[in-house]
Amino acid sequence: MDFLKTTVKDLHQELVNKSLSVADLTQATLDHIKATDDRYEAFITLMETNALEQAKKIDQAGVSSAQMLAGIPFGIKDNMVTKGVQTTAASRMLHDFKPIYDATVLERLSQAGAIGVGKLNMDEFAMGSTTETSYYKQTKNAWDQTKIPGGSSGGSAVSVAAGQVPFALGSDTGGSIRQPAAFNGVVGLKPTYGRVSRWGLIAFASSLDQIGPITRTVEDNALVLNAIAGYDARDQTSSKQTVPDFTANLTGNIKGMKIAIPKEYFGDGVDPKVVSVVKAGIAQLEALGAHVEEVSLPHTKYGVAAYYILGSSEASSNLQRFDGIRYGFRAENVQTLEDLYVQTRSQGFGDEVKRRIMLGTYSLSAGSYDAYFKKAAQVRTLIADEFEQVFGQYDLIVAPTTPNIAYGFGENQDDPQVAYMNDALTIPVNLAGLPGMSINAGFIDGLPVGMQLIGNRFEEAKIYQAAYAFEQATRLFDKIPGGDQ
């Protein structure tokens, strides 16, 4: 099954009409992944037995017109726990870990009838922006296999862009859904913090992590968010905010919408070619009736520094549970308890994870807390306040998703600070807890360019409204890897 040439909505109609059975669709999906994954290396684990059993049950019950996701296959970033299925977070530390329950998002998609077909590659414990820190494999960009796929949800974005599945789940701590979505020309949404339950998501930085959908089209993305959003008593940061129908405003009409353009997102460090493509996208929104004005977000330049102190501090705390005692990897031939801890964590974690644990532990130490962690928390508040002031006058903020397009493997790996700047335009959204989406705005040298739409808290509907209007006007999703449709 080639999902490059169809959508969730189209597949749903075929299942309702019984021109396609869920079992046939699921089997075709698994066969297609097996036939193509040597090229992309997006999947770590296939869930073949579970998927086919679930497909059989759905066929017996039948798919109604109201069940938009029933029988639709999807991929799962491998940091969401899956009952009885290997869940690795792309780390040696969890190479043999099989959870005893499903993450809330997977429970909800299962209740909607969607069928999880496999676990997707990622940067180890979601730390990275290229998927190169995975212990297992090196995922390739869907458009050019010599280029990185982005990260940390690289496997999720590639699986959709390459037509292996119609949608996938990713997680976004500093841009890990939007950046790979930009590099692969698909639609990636990081919802408002608290909109989607994090229960069952292996934590990286708990105050920043958020699960979201990656799809080929905006409408598909809204359909998936409809299914996974909403309050969950098991996640204490889950919001009781009302969940609207995110497809309700997909009309193509954005006349009168007020859009802010932050000048700092188009400055030093951003490729002029990227600026040109995104500005053309903004002109398209203006042509559709939006009112566009330039604004300033001056504290944006401190976002990366604040993020890496706060995120690494939370990571150093969250990852202390991986000690070789209770589950996961355990070093052999150790002599003492201290040796067990040291050898397990030294051998089980990769270099990037160790780097962030050390940075976080230092920032939280008694002699450094006020100088680093406290200052970073204050910067976070300033960034959130700036966004709040802008959203007092505007409906959306529009900017590039990334400073550049996808680049070659190995670039920037010798200098972590350069690599960290790849997330400079996405990180402020996480610090402020806002929703943000990346959609394809065009191409440079055959590679996609991401345009980021940022909304106020719990106003994902406005993002979908503008993104859908742009998508329908440009039809860029018709251009697919390997040639136009």
Asked if the bond preceding 152 is cis, omega within 30° of 0, the reply is yes
Rounded to whole angstroms, the Cα distance separating 455 from 429 reads 9
Known catalytic residues are 77, 152, 176
Of 175, 221, 230, the residue nearest 198 (C-alpha): 230
Rounded to whole angstroms, the Cα distance separating 165 from 157 reads 10
Contact of 187 with 217, CB cutoff 8 Å: yes
SS3 letters across 293-352 = EEECCHHHHHHHHHHHHHHHHHHHHHHHHCCCCCCCCCCCCCCCHHHHHHHHHHHHCCHH
* Cα atoms found within 13 Å of the Cα of residue 209, Cβ hemisphere only: 26
Residue type, 187: V
Which residues does 336 contact at the CB level (< 8 Å), separation at least 6?
A: none
CA 233 vs CA 198, 230, 416: distances in Å: 11, 10, 38
Describe the chain by its helix, strand, coil percentages, rounded to 5: 45, 15, 40
The token duo for 359 is 């940075």
First to last CA, the chain: 15
Q: At what angle do helices 48-61 and 22-40 cross, to 10 degrees?
A: 150
Burial of 417 (0-12, 13-18, 19+ CB in 10 A): exposed
Rounded to whole angstroms, the Cα distance separating 212 from 435 reads 10
Coil, strand or helix at 437: strand
The token duo for 203 is 């934590």
The token duo for 314 is 């939370």
Contact of 190 with 178, CB cutoff 8 Å: yes
Contact of 217 with 477, CB cutoff 8 Å: yes
